[in-house]
Amino acid sequence: MKKFGILIALIATTYLQADVEAGKAVHQANCATCHSTDMRGGLGRDFNLVSYTRTKKDIAQYAKDPYSLYKEFGYSANAMPTLPLTDKEFEDVADYIDSLQPFKEWMKKTKKK
């Protein structure tokens, strides 16, 4: 029974990693022109900063429909184009972006005064 649990864990880890790797490929093909992942700059925010400040759900929603959250994110206008990606590709790229920062600002607990 223990071996079965280990096998399931390995399969799940491989599946999750595949989504991140697929998302990295989506980033390279569709996002890297404007969004860096090494703090070198670009037209859009570096994805390390995006990963730090946004949930995976918000990342996927904004990538799929950039006009849906730009005001909520503090932008006065939206410069991001609508991309012709599949739902799976949007989820994969959100997985990749989310994986860039293990510590999230939105996960911090606020101190009660």
Kindly give the residue spans of alpha helices, DSSP state H, lying in 37-86: 47-53, 56-64
Give me the sign of the Cα torsion angle 80, 84, 88, 92. negative
Give the chain's mean pLDDT.
Answer: 83
User: Domain map of the chain by residue range?
Assistant: 2-104
The phi, psi pair for 5, rounded to 5°, reads -65, -40
Q: DSSP secondary-structure letter at 102?
A: S
Count other Cβ atoms within 10 Å, centred on residue 90.
20
Tokens 């607990």 map to which residue?
109
For 2-104, CATH gives 1.10.760.10
pLDDT tens digits, one per residue of 36-72 = 998 888 888 999 999 998 999 999 999 999 998 889 8
Is the confidence at residue 26, as pLDDT, over 60?
yes
Residue bearing the bigger pLDDT, 73 or 17: 73
Predicted model pTM: 0.74
Write down the pLDDT at residue 83: 92
